Structure 1
Amino acid sequence: MAASQNQHTQKIVSLLNSGQLGAAAKAAKTAMKAFPKAPQFPNMAATIAAQSGDPRAAVQFFAKALKLSPGDPGIQENLIQSLVESDQHTKARELISKLVVKRPSSDRLWQLLAVSHMRCNEHAESIDAATKAIAVNASNALAFNLRGISRKSLGYHAEAVVDFRKSHEIKPRDPDPLANMSLPLAELGKPEEAFEACRMALELDPNHRIALFNNAVLLNEHGRIEDAVGVFKRLLEIDPLHAEAWSELVQTQSKEDNLRLEPAIRYAITKTPRKSENQIHLNLALGNCLFQKGDFEGASAALAVSNELAFKTRDVDTRNAQRQLEAIKDRFPKDGTLSTAGDTQSPCPIFIIGQPRSGTTLVEMMVSSRSDVASCGELPFANQLLIELLKNQEEFDPKTFSHSYRSSLPALPSGAEYFVDKMPSNYRYVGFLLSAFPNAPIIHVERDPRDVALSMWRSHFPAGDMDYTSNLEAMARTANIYRKYMNHWKSIAGNRMLTLDYSDIVTDIEGSSRKIADLCEVEWTPEMMSPEQNKARVKTASVVQVRHGVHTKSIGGWQRMERALLPFTKALDHELWPDLD
């Protein structure tokens, strides 16, 4: 006697409850053949595929279930979720746009749209969609969490923490918002609260991957290297395929320890889908392992895979960067004068600029070794304010800018007379910064662009202003634009900007630190020669290097991978870089 629909359903559920996903999938397909017009079986097959980590297969089954039950909101939303998880965003958004007309009060649809935008690094759009979900349902904890993630990605850390706290308030047993708020709390200068957020998340779930990863990152940033290594290893015991943990571990622990990791990283690579974004971090980890091993050919191959995959996820337009350069130069002509009507309050900013990976973190640790100089790391505020001003072609008012900039600062320690903003890409905005803060010194760090390129090629940067770092030709074009900026600013800044070459810094730390002290009009102290002793938080890719003290090992390192870097060196404008010939 043939089994009934109810018997098929019970069998599938029983297999699912016992964790037999493969057998449950076969049972669902058998039921689909026996009852081709019953929507629950393709729906169950889709759910099983989704739980098995195959969202593309889930899409096919959910689409079939939806044909059999066209108005089912649950199936509609599950189909959209699978489309989003398989990165079929155009189809997902088309379906959402049709459904929100019929179901405008569905917070779930807006929430799914927010996830889609977030996965595409479209954080402003994600915030808008999450806000609409919250407007419909103020108790949607996930929407608050999503909005917090996107706000954090855009550098709005205080607003992100508010969202994460609200999400936690709504769902106090969910460790996600607690783990997510840890890093923005650290950005706001609240390290104790950041560690506490991780602790609370791990109390709810000791194996929570985000909490473990963020905890390790925080430990690393605060110089607790051995503790960080221990947490990364624990995370990899729980999840041997955690790509970012592999990448961070390789950059954190010693060369000797890394040489033992190669087989495990290669295994993780074979077990991860070839086109997965996780391959970016896994191949980066492998490339850096092989580089330390001295296998530069193997390192070149792995790093090429990592960067090629990263570049496919990014939108690089150096033509826009060139247009921005011309627009800014027009605002600050060489024969013009800078405004002195800006902010002269204390604490006074010290701006450190240069190409990423040029030594700006080292200089920050040198100058902030003084007790009256607060280290603030890479502050996004100048870029956030000026990018909108340039986009809208608005007039620049130094007082308005300085007020908005200063009001965004994290809490500074008492007794601080200066604070350091070490955002390398502020080299674009020197004229604005000097006008807004007439007393502020600017320290410009130069480094051989080929060594910079190698360092960027061996690192992974978040999407946004650093998109170009995953393509050698784009890196060279950006380096050329940087050089044009600095040639222009040197004719305007006068003695308010000090240019130091990285090689001079590491070969003469005392002389360089004295020049910095003179520029900033502070008394030189011996501590400025030992930046590795500085207990300030370091959150850039330089976190481990700066803790190892000043050394000359990386000078000329590009020659070890000269052949791999040929696309970069060929694209450099040698009229701008005559000293390289």
Structure 2
Amino acid sequence: MQRRFDDPATAEADRMHLGFALAKAMDDLKRPESLFTYLRPANQLMRKAHPYDIASRRAELEGIFATFADFTPAPAPEASDFAPVFVTGMPRSGTTLVEQIIASHSRMTGAGEAGVAVREVQKVILDAAGRYRAWSEIAGAEVAAMGRRYEAEMRRRFPEAVQVTDKSIQTHAWMGFIASALPQAKFVVVRRDPRDTALSIYRNVFAENTHLYAYDLHDLGLYFRMFEELIDFWREKLPGGFHEIQYEELVDHPEEQSRRLIAACGLPWEEACLSFHENKRRVQTLSLYQVRQPIYRSSTRAWERHAEELKDFTDALEGRHA
């Protein structure tokens, strides 16, 4: 693999995949000093193949802030009483683990990254020209109809489910709308040390044309700042509207944090939630291996071995470079 990676005749696409594979090998061989030797060029080649402008995310945030500037939390008239639990946060922050804990409850069925709610919200929010509508322009009937469409689709996918968990990452951007459309829904926002999150994102290859900001550390830092802006925005607009759980606290105190999590979902405690790794439901994310194991601590503070290599990320995150 190293010979192929170093060979100038190797096609860029092959060299990119070899770079990610070699970075994984360096990690497995306990050679962290060599990780970025392969990880940096692999990400650069991925970015070259899939260009991304972080300004597009900034424009999306400004549209969201403008739409919900006059938002006040209230159930839409005749809203659905469907009661999903939405688990959201940055990729690689522990959302799959948190969903697995909730989905191990006897009432819950794990839907994974369903992708339905955001798509249905955007059908209402964006007009025919792609402009963001103001909340005051959107009729309550439109909001309620969005909730009913979501319910119908989830019941079609999971006809035997009592309740579902939905781990669609972008849900955090639209929590106010979804809360109005589905007033019985619960929201869980998963937080993790940004540096560990960034390192984990940067080490992985995502599904094609998804998370394209992930392949540049500076853009990743700016994106993470915008995630924090969205959470702060909804914390103000939707007070008490979501439960926040810190990944590191969950790892250090699994039973205490799991009990709080299940209570925040409006569910009675069940011991099966501590045995989440025995749940054999289908998992379709990069975290498949992790959720088949008991909780472990080896993924915390991994960033410390790579603090210098992550400087572009931390500078952007902390606002030292726009």
Residues 71-128 of structure 1: CA deviation (Å, up to 9, x unaligned): xxxxxxxxxxxxxxxxxxxxxxxxxxxxxxxxxxxxxxxxxxxxxxxxxxxxxxxxxx
Which residue of structure 2 aligns with residue 499 of structure 1? 244
Which residue identity lines up with residue 485 of structure 1 in the other structure?
L
Structure with greater Cα Rg: 1
1:277 aligned partner: 13
**Residue 426 of structure 1, aligned match among 137, 154, 171:** 171
Cα distance change of structure 1 residues 384 and 340 upon mapping to structure 2, 3 Å threshold:
closer
**1:483 and 2:228 matched:** yes
Residue 352 of structure 1 corresponds to 87
Hey, what does 1:411 align to over in structure 2?
Answer: 157
The one-letter amino acid paired with 2:62 is E
Among residues 65, 68, 89, which one is paired with 1:329 in the alignment? 65
* Cα distance in structure 1, aligned partners of 2:78 and 2:189: 21
**Once the 2 structures are TM-superposed, how far is the Cα of residue 556 of structure 1 from its aligned partner?**
0.9
* CA positional deviation for 1:342: 6.1
Where 2:84 maps in the other structure, the secondary structure is strand
TM-score by length of 2: 0.89
Q: Which residue of 2 aligns with 1:383?
A: 118
Q: Which amino acid aligns with 2:206?
A: F
Counterpart Cα distance in 2 of 1:458 and 1:289: 12
Counterpart for residue 393 of structure 1: 132
Report if the CA contact (8 A) 2:47-2:216 is conserved.
Answer: yes
SS of equivalent to 1:280: helix
Give, in angstroms, the shift of residue 420 of structure 1.
0.8
Which amino acid in 2 is paired with 1:534? Answer: N
State the partner residue of 2:192. Answer: 447
Q: Does 1:534 align with 2:279?
A: yes
Is the CA contact 1:356–1:425 (under 8 Å) kept in the aligned structure 2? no
Please name the residue that 1:436 is paired with: 181
Segments ≥4 residues shifted beyond 6 Å = none
Counterpart mapping for 1:229-308 below 5 A: 265-267=1-3, 269=5, 273-308=9-44
Deviations 1:210-229 (A, max 9, x none): xxxxxxxxxxxxxxxxxxxx
Distance across 2 between alignment mates of 1:421 and 1:368: 10
Structure 2 residue aligned with 1:553, among 279, 294, 298? 298
Partner Cα distance (2:26, 2:116) in 1: 38
- Deviation at 1:321? 1.4
For residue 421 of structure 1, report the CA deviation from its aligned partner. Answer: 0.8
Match of 1:508 among 253, 265, 268: 253
Q: Is contact 1:287-1:302 (8 Å) kept?
A: yes
Q: Secondary structure at the match of 1:530?
A: helix
Instruction: Sort the Cα spacing of 1:443 and 1:294 in 2 relative to 1 into closer, same or farther, 3 A.
Output: same
2:56 matched to which residue of 1?
320
Do the aligned residues in 2 keep the contact of 1:342 with 1:435 (CA within 8 Å)?
A: no
Which runs of 5 or more structure 1 residues have no equivalent in the other structure? 1-264, 576-581
What's the secondary structure of 2:190's corresponding residue? strand
> Partners of 1:386 and 1:280 in 2: how far apart?
36
Give how far 1:574 is off.
5.6
SS at match of 1:445: strand
Q: Distance in 2 between matches of 1:536 and 1:563?
A: 39
Counterpart code for 1:299: L
Partner Cα separation in structure 2 for residue 319 and residue 573 of structure 1: 18
Are 1:543 and 2:288 matched, yes or no?
yes
Does structure 2 conserve the Cα–Cα contact (< 8 Å) formed by 1:272 and 1:278?
A: no
Offset, 1:319: 1.6
Distance 2:146 2:16 in 1: 38
Contact 1:351 1:420 in 2 (8 A): yes
**Counterpart residue number, 1:472:** 217
Residues 1:383 and 1:337: Cα distance change in structure 2 (over 3 Å): closer
1:191-212 per-position Cα deviation (integer Å, ceiling 9, x unaligned) = xxxxxxxxxxxxxxxxxxxxxx
* Structure 2 segments unaligned to the other structure (5+ residues): none
**1:334 Cα deviation (Å)?**
7.3
Note the C-alpha offset of 1:323: 2.0
Decide whether aligned partners of structure 1 residues 299 and 313 sit closer, same or farther in structure 2, where only a CA change above 3 A counts.
same
What whole-Å deviation, never above 9, does each CA across 1:38-68 have from its counterpart, x for those lacking one? xxxxxxxxxxxxxxxxxxxxxxxxxxxxxxx
Question: What is aligned with 2:101?
Answer: 366
- Scaled by the length of structure 1, the TM-score of the pair is 0.50
Contact 1:334/1:488, CA 8 A, preserved across alignment: no
- Note if contact 2:104-2:279 (Cα within 8 Å) is conserved in structure 1: yes
Q: Which has more helix, going by share of residues?
A: 1
CA RMSD of aligned residues (A): 2.2
| Contact 1:272–1:279 (8 Å) recurs in 2 | no
For the residue of structure 1 that corresponds to 2:86, the secondary structure is strand
When residues 374 and 335 of structure 1 are mapped into structure 2, their CA distance, relative to the original with a 3 A threshold, is closer
SS, match of residue 87 in structure 2: strand
Bigger RCO of structures 1 and 2 (CA < 8 A, at least 6 apart): 2
CA 1:547–1:268: 2 relative to 1, 3 Å: farther
In structure 1, how many angstroms separate the alpha carbons of the residues matched to 2:63 and 2:74?
16
Whichever residue aligns with residue 73 of structure 2, its letter is T
Contact 2:63 2:132 in 1 (8 A): no
Q: Deviation of residue 405 (structure 1)?
A: 2.4
Structure 2 CA distance for aligned equivalents of residues 361 and 442 of structure 1: 14
Contact 2:23–2:38 under 8 Å retained in 1: yes
Separation in 1, partners of 2:91, 2:81: 29
